[in-house]
Every structure is written in structure tokens, then in C-alpha cells.
Amino acid sequence: MARLDPHSCVDSEQRAPRHLRLELAVDFEARRLAGEAALVLAEGHAGALDLDTKGLTIHEARTETGAPVPFVLGHEDPVLGRRLRLEPPRGAAEVRLRYETSPDALGLQWLAPEQTAGGRHPFLFSQCQPIHARTLAPVPDSARVRLTYEAAITVPEALTAVMSAGPAGTRPGPRPHTRTFLFEMPQPIPTYLLALAVGRLESRDLSSRSRVWAEPETVDAAAHELAGTEDMLGKAEGLFGPYEWDRYDMLVLPPAFPYGGMENPRMTFLTPTLLAGDRSLVDVVVHELAHSWTGNLVTNATMDHFWLNEGFTVWAERRILEALRGEEVAILGWAIGEAALRSSLERFGADSPLTRLRTDLAGMDPDDAFSAIPYEKGSRLVALLERAVGRLRWDRFMREYVGRFRFTSITTEEFLAFLDQTLPGASATVAARRWLYEPGIPENAPAFRSPSLESLTALAQGWPQGRRPSPAEAARWSPSELLVYLQRLPRELPGESCRWLDESLKLTGRSNYEILVEWLTIAGGSDYPPAFARLREVLTRVGRMKFLRPLYQAMGRHPRTRALAREIFAEASPRYHALSRRVAASLIEKYVDAS
Ligand code: BES
Ligand code: ZN
């Protein structure tokens, strides 16, 4: 037995299945998927096959000829779930498993109609990264394994299903008032990129190879916000080579979606909180699009190498942003990331092993290790390498890297070996091994400077001495500039300062969620009552963990906001994604008071 992934029971001595065929019915009442998962075995498969499962009920296992396949479920690990060991007879080509999911599958969120824009139909979406595909289907749930897949998903007639795959038509469902959506995914993907969403959906074309899906109530706003997608695709292709996934479609989800975006191939999932109306938050789209190369083509082998996905993608995101909107804008992106990096370093402590890029998460829930470290420390290492060898050579390296490892999964060490072979000396010049294997941020971190960043920082640092922007000056700031300014203000301010900020900068009414949440973090942490109604509204409506975390944390500072946070949580949390609920609950548990 050889387990190369601490979060999967995939055995590297067994031959991994090649293809997955799903035939599932979506039952909104029971909150279950039920049906069949067929695993097409590797040619000449012999011996046992271990798969990951979590919360699945397996009813039956047979080969393609109907011969029973003996199976046994191992002991339950609270994080990893249960190993499913199958013993297919020699010569079997497929194992077909009849099964159903559990109503509290972590990879699925079932929304009541009132959690949608339309308010009349339920909604379902999946989020499989990092290790939740096993709650949807019995699969080899390690990023080391890639599969092609096809699916037939039966849903209530009024609803539409989309997946991280190409659409392959529809047919009448097996029961009245149902419809079956067919999908085919010809490119092999790791299971964390399996994705499904079902709801009342419409689409708008953005270009010949891109469209956006959303509820009818939001689809036009979404199309407006995302109109620049084809330009982004063009810039990304210029940097990293051809787009390999045919289409780039997107789905804008209801606000309960726990992330900003998820790079599901052919169908990026997006939070509606990026619909600011002025295209100011499309860096999330640039990021998910960039994963089409870094992450989806070249994939981290396990969550211990997650920085390979996210560090490279953040770096790529800022290069694409620079190509689209200039260097000043990209530098503001680095500055905004810097604040996130600092708060993660504070959360873990700068010498925590979780601040290494190459981690060792055995025995740990990867969702608990999630932070800005792989994103912002990782992207800084890539930027450092870029500066060390020069942009021309680094860009050539990136194309070679993607070309060499496309459709494979690699470790940090495989990346390093390729780097040392392709650009000898570069890793030593930047002390890459310190960046990768040691905690904290090395002193040779690249600096990002621009006149606008410098003046915003100076202005914010002068707050205690009474420096204020003139309203006319502030009105000229871009949304990113305002965000940078707010991030650099003190975390707690007296009431009259809060009032000055809100009145001069019109913060509470903002529709840009990054700005709004930054402001509410200050206002909540300052016990400033005029912001409480908006705080309640955001915490009740939005499930994005990036926003819940700072808000619930800031509200822990004062007795009145602690009480408010507890009250809001009690009301809102039944509708949060299970992971969002966990994050908020753990912050509230840490509140220090007697009440
Ligand atoms: N792949 C991530 C989201 C993710 C990571 C989900 C790990 C589950 C486990 C996605 O690409 C991402 O990084 N999203 C960010 C966007 C941001 C960096 C622009 C987010 O959700 O905030
Ligand atoms: Zn990402």
C-alpha cells in the first residue's frame, strides 16, 4: 500500500480508474443525490480498488455485466470519511455503484427559495475543493488522479443543471415533470474540479466562447459586469499559451456561496458579491480564469502543494490585470493582498508551520489550514523569481512549465527540479527553499511601490495626527484606491471618526462588497451603532467566508457587538454553508467575556 496523499485513501500501487459516469437524480425535498456512479477501470485492471467516500450510502456494486462486486467500507474518519474497497473480478471493465448522498454532504449546499434572487425555486450547488467530491460520489478523491467524466442529471422541469463539463443536450426525465441534463467532460480533471449547480438559470452570451449563467433576476447585471471576459482570455492566452478547455462559461450563484470564485473547468462559479455595477471586482474572474493554466492544467499533487495552484494564479492574475489596466492597478492588487497576508500571519503566528508554502497537513482538515499564505506568500515567491531572471525569461519559463506539466499533478519538489533544470541558479538567487520550507516571510520579499500607493499609505498613517483626505480628492479615487486606504486605517476608531468616514466617503451604502466589508470591519470593531443594520444585512445575506471572518472577528471586541454577532449568527447560521457556519462559530466561541 502506498498513500501519497494524506487526505485520500487512493493507493498509488493500484491502477486508478480513467473515467466516471454519473447518473443522478436531484431530490430537493430529501436533499439528496441518488443514482449510479460507474467507474471505468484502467485497461487490464487487476486486484482491489480503493475509493474515497464520505456520508455515502452504497446500495449495490456490480460490473458492467451485472456480476456483483464485493465491497467493504472502512472505519469513519471525521475529516476523511470512509475508504470504500472494491474487489472487482479479473477482467471487469467497470464497477457500477448504486448509492445516495447524505443530506449534510459538505460538498453540497441546498438553498431554500428565499435564499435565491427569484425567491420561488430552490437552488443546489457543489463545492468540491479541497476534499468534498467524496461526499457527492465514490471517487479517487486525490488531486494526483485525473478522470474524464460524463453525467446525466435529472432535475425538476423548471430548473436547469450546469456542470464543470461540456453540455451534451437534454432529454425528458424518467419521472413526470423532470428533465435530464447530459454532460461530457473530455479533458481529464482531478475530482476537486467536479462541479454541479441546479437552479432557475438563464444565460447571456459574452463572446463566441463564453457565456454567463445566473438567475433571470441577476443575469443582465452579470453580463454587464463580465463583459470584459473575452479580453481577459486573450491576455491570458498571450501570456500562458492557448486556452485548452474550449469554452469559458461562468455561473453567478446566490450570495450563500462560501467563496469569491471557484475555477471549475468550463464553468467558473462566482459569488454575486462581485457584481458591484462598475466592473471593479472582476479581478476574481481574472483569478479563476488564470486557474485554467495554473491549477487546472498544472495541478497541485495534494493540498500540501496548494501554493502551486494559488500562488501561481495570484501572480498570473496580477500580470493579466497589468496587461489589461496598467502597472498602477496591478500594484494596488499586490497592496490589497499584502493586507490579507499580514492578517493571516497574525492569525497563525509568523513561525507557525502553516505559514510555510510546502505544508504538512497530515492529520489536519485542509479547510482549517485555508488562508492567504499560499496565495500571497506564494505569489511573492513567483514575483521574486520573475524579477531575478527578468520578465522575458520568466515568461518563457511559464510557457515551458505549463507545456511540460499540462494535464498532470505535481509536487513542490517537481516544480523545483524543473526550475533548477530550466533556469539554473534562479532558485538559489532568491533563496527559494527558504520561501518554500520555512515559516514567515523572508526579508528578500519583493516590494511593490507606486506613487498612488505611497500617498494613500501616508495619508492613512497620518490619521491619528488628524490627516484626512479632502472629499474631492477621495471622490477621485478608484475603488481599489479607496480599499487600500481603508485597509491601512486603524482597526478601531472613535465614534466621531467613524461618522466622518461614513459621511465623507459614503461607505455604508456602497455596493462594492470589498469596500463595504472593509468599512463594516472598522465600524463593527469600533462599536459604531449606525452601521449595525447594514452589518446585520450583510451577515444574514452573504455566506462568503472571506467576509464573514473579519466581520465576526471584529465584532468580538466590544460587549454590545458580541451580543449582536451572537444574535445574528443564531438567526442566520442555519442558512450558511456548513463551512461558513463552522468558521463563524469558531470565531464566536473565541469571544472573551462572561456573557
Ligand atoms: N480555488 C479557490 C477557492 C478554494 C480554495 C475553494 C480552496 C476551496 C478550497 C479559488 O480559485 C479562489 O482562490 N478564490 C478566491 C478568489 C480570489 C483569490 C480572487 C476567493 O474565493 O476569494
Ligand atoms: Zn484560486
- Give the position, in ligand 1's atom list, of the atom nearest the Cα of 283: 19
Question: Would you place residue 446 in the very low, low, confident or very high pLDDT band (cuts 50, 70, 90)?
Answer: very high
- Give the position, in ligand 1's atom list, of the atom nearest the Cα of 367: 9
Which is the catalytic residue, given 215, 288, 338, 386? 288
Unique residue bearing C-alpha cell 454590545 = 560
Residue 272 Cβ inside 6 Å of ligand 1? The answer reads: no
Question: Would you place residue 189 in the very low, low, confident or very high pLDDT band (cuts 50, 70, 90)?
Answer: very high
Ligand 1 centroid to 368 CA: how many Å?
14
For 21-62, what is each residue's pLDDT tens digit? 999 999 999 999 999 999 999 998 999 999 999 999 999 999
Residue 413 identity (one-letter amino acid): E
Residue 260 Cβ inside 6 Å of ligand 1? The answer reads: yes
For 387-397, what is each residue's pLDDT tens digit? 999 999 999 99
Contacts of 361 (CB under 8 A, 6+ apart): 6, 7, 303, 304, 369
Count CA atoms within 13 Å of residue 403 on its CB side: 12
Ligand 1 centroid to 302 CA: how many Å?
16
Active-site residue flag, 288:
yes
Residue 291 Cβ inside 6 Å of ligand 1? The answer reads: yes
φ/ψ region of 247 (left if φ > 0, alpha if ψ in -120 to 50, else beta) reads beta
Ligand 1 centroid to 339 CA: how many Å?
17
Calpha distance 96→37 (Å, rounded): 6
Contacts of 260 (CB under 8 A, 6+ apart): 270, 271, 273, 274, 284, 287, 544, 546
For 269-289, what is each residue's pLDDT tens digit? 999 999 999 999 999 999 999
Q: What is the pTM of this model?
A: 0.98
Q: At 316, which helix (H) or strand (E)? A: helix 306-325
Residue 274 Cβ inside 6 Å of ligand 1? The answer reads: no
Question: Would you place residue 174 in the very low, low, confident or very high pLDDT band (cuts 50, 70, 90)?
Answer: very high
Question: Would you place residue 1 in the very low, low, confident or very high pLDDT band (cuts 50, 70, 90)?
Answer: confident
Task: Give CA separation, 475 vs 325, 505, 507, 518, in Å.
Answer: 20, 8, 12, 17
- Give the position, in ligand 1's atom list, of the atom nearest the Cα of 375: 18
Bridge partners for 95 per DSSP: 39, 63
Residue 134 Cβ inside 6 Å of ligand 1? The answer reads: no
The answer on pLDDT for 590 being more than 90 is yes
Residue 461 identity (one-letter amino acid): Q
The SS3 of residue 544 is coil
The answer on pLDDT for 148 being more than 60 is yes
Residue 543 Cβ inside 6 Å of ligand 1? The answer reads: no
CA angle 442, 445, 449 (to 5 degrees): 155
The answer on pLDDT for 3 being more than 90 is no
Ligand nearest to the CA of 580: 1
For 212-245, what is each residue's pLDDT tens digit? 999 999 999 999 999 999 999 999 999 999 999 9
Q: Tell me the average pLDDT of the chain.
A: 98
Looking at residue 289, its pLDDT comes to: 98
Q: Which residue lies with its CA nearest to atom 11 of ligand 1? A: 262
Contacts of 567 (CB under 8 A, 6+ apart): none
Question: Would you place residue 593 in the very low, low, confident or very high pLDDT band (cuts 50, 70, 90)?
Answer: confident
Unique residue bearing C-alpha cell 509536487 = 411
**138 grid coordinates:** 465514490
**183 grid coordinates:** 454532460
Which is the catalytic residue, given 375, 513, 528, 552? 375
The fraction of the chain above a pLDDT of 70, given in percent, is 100
Q: Which residue lies with its CA nearest to atom 10 of ligand 1? A: 262
The answer on pLDDT for 515 being more than 90 is yes
The answer on pLDDT for 95 being more than 90 is yes
Determine the distance from the C-alpha atom of residue 4 to the mean position of all C-alpha atoms in its chain, rounded to a whole number.
Answer: 23
Residues 254, 270 contacting (CB under 8 angstroms): no
Cβ atoms within 10 Å, residue 403: 12
For 538-581, what is each residue's pLDDT tens digit? 999 999 999 999 999 999 999 999 999 999 999 999 999 999 99
Calpha distance 264→269 (Å, rounded): 7
The answer on pLDDT for 595 being more than 70 is no
Q: 66-71 — which CB contacts under 8 Å span 24+ positions?
A: 67/92, 69/95
Calpha distance 130→145 (Å, rounded): 14
Q: At 300, which helix (H) or strand (E)? A: strand 298-300
Residues 552, 569 contacting (CB under 8 angstroms): yes
Between residues 439 and 45, the one the model is more confident about: 439
φ/ψ region of 145 (left if φ > 0, alpha if ψ in -120 to 50, else beta) reads beta
Calpha distance 236→230 (Å, rounded): 10
Cβ atoms within 10 Å, residue 3: 15
Looking at residue 38, its pLDDT comes to: 99
Determine the distance from the C-alpha atom of residue 1 to the mean position of all C-alpha atoms in its chain, rounded to a whole number.
Answer: 32
Selection from 251, 287, 286 nearest residue 266 by Cα: 251
Q: Which residue lies with its CA nearest to atom 3 of ligand 1? A: 262
**DSSP symbols for 473-484:** HHHHS-HHHHHH
Residues 48, 87 contacting (CB under 8 angstroms): yes
Residue 263 Cβ inside 6 Å of ligand 1? The answer reads: yes
Q: Which residue lies with its CA nearest to atom 1 of ligand 1? A: 262
**381 grid coordinates:** 515567491
The answer on pLDDT for 195 being more than 80 is yes
Bridge partners for 545 per DSSP: none
Looking at residue 592, its pLDDT comes to: 87
For the segment 329-340, the average pLDDT, to the nearest whole number, is: 98
